[in-house]
Structure formats: C-alpha cells, structure tokens
Amino acid sequence: MMPGGPHSMETLHHAGGIPAVFRQIKKYLENCQTVSGMDTNSIANAVTYVNEEVIRPTDSPVHASGGLMILAGTLAPNGAVVKSGAVQDEMWKHTGPARVFDGETDAMKAILERQITEGDVVIIRYEGPKGGPGMPEMLSPTSALVGLGYSRVALVTDGRFSGGTRGPCIGHVSPEAAAGGPIAFVKDGDSISIDLYDKTIKLNVSPDELEKRKAGWKPLQKTLTSVLSRYAASVGPADLGAVLLQK
C-alpha cells in the first residue's frame, strides 16, 4: 500500500477489502470470533471477489519480505520495528555514523538546515512512552528527509512512525532512552549497522565503553505536571505495549 506500493486504501476496498485479505491468508489464521460476531473462517469463506493484482496470493508475493519486520541487536535489545516494505533494496544493509538528537525539534532543525549527510544514521531519542512522554509520531523528520531529496539516510528512534513513513526508518526502539536503553548512550560518530536481511540493528561500540558511558549517564529531564507526570512514571516499555504498569 502507499507509500510502500502503488495502491491506495480505496483500491484495497474495491479489490475485496480486508475479507479478501482474510481469504488469501486463511491457512495462516486461527479461526476466532471477530467484533462482527462472525469468525475469521466465515468471513473468508463468504468472499466472492478478489482482485489478485492488488491482494496477491501467498504463492505470488510482491516482495520476499512482509510489510513489517522486528529488528533486534545491541542498539535495541528488546526489539525495534521497521516498515520493511517501504525500504529501498539498497538500504536493507547499511552502516553509517550516528547523528544524535535528544528530541524531534533539534533533529528537524538539523535536517532543514541540511546538516545531515548522505549515509548518516539519525538518532532521535527521548521520544518513547516514558521519555516523550506518550511516544509521539516522528513523521515530520522522515517527510523532511524525503522532501529534501535524501536517499541514503536512516532514522532510528524510540518514538513511533505512522503508516505514511517510507525509507529506512526504525522506530519503537526498546528499551527507550528514558529507561536507560543503549540508545541513551549513543554518541555522534558512533558506527550503527542496520541489516534487514539478518533482522539486526547494532551499535558498534564495545561493552566496556558502553558501561563507562552508562556510569555517567543521567536521563534527560523534562518539566511535566499532572497527568503527564503520572503517565511518565507509570508507563511500561514499547515492546510490552506501552501500557500503564501497576505499582
């Protein structure tokens, strides 16, 4: 689907919609009741039309990979998410220097002022569930990179992305910076390796060096009051759903 492919959501609807998707992947689905009151098999079996140019059969996929992928590694021990279907093939494997920003505002300023170089890996941290707080969407930086013509810049964040994101944009990095995850200890110039074939994202810094950085680390302090303060103190990590934890 757009922007990772040529088809709009309206095209999907006219091609048979989500019931047609159910039919195409029926053998992979557990038959369970949906909010409609019907179970998944019943919905799939009731389909009478599927445009297979839009909703492809499983034996004729658009790409070897699915639309989403979970990465893990020394930068994201508990995982990260990438919309792999919207990453150009030449960026499936990339190593570059980190450009680190403690928040979206500073990153946007650097991007718009063209302080970013092709090959860089832009790190936007302290935008996770606790650090945001609330895990804000990082669509503006990615849109700015595309709009300014960058093609070989990766973006990594403990924040989130929308469905409109395209390119090598990796979000939901966990543990997040505010919780003391490795993304908090990245410095400008550190080597970052992204490999979608191997499903890894690595911070190429020795464990001893990371321990030294961690020893002197203090989380970024934001002035929070009322509900946001209570939320930041109670919210869990992105890899567990960013739900409130009972104390």
Q: CA distances (Å), 142 to each of 27, 56, 139, 174, 244, in order?
A: 36, 29, 5, 20, 29
162 is catalytic: yes
- Of 26, 44, 36, 63, residue with least CA distance to 196: 63
**Residues in Cβ contact with 224 at an 8 Å cutoff, skipping those fewer than 6 apart:** 133, 232
Report how far residue 217's alpha carbon sits from residue 184's, in angstroms, rounded to the nearest whole number: 8
Query: CA 66: distance to chain centroid?
Result: 14
Q: Kindly state the DSSP code that residue 87 receives in the 8-state scheme.
A: S
The active-site residue out of 162, 191, 193, 229 is: 162
* Rounded distance between C-alpha atoms, residue 127 and residue 174, angstroms: 11
Burial class (CB in 10 A: 0-12, 13-18, 19+), 30: exposed
CA–CA separation, 81 and 169 (whole Å) = 9
The rounded distance, in Å, linking the Cα atoms of 137 and 121 is 18
Annotated active-site positions, please? 162
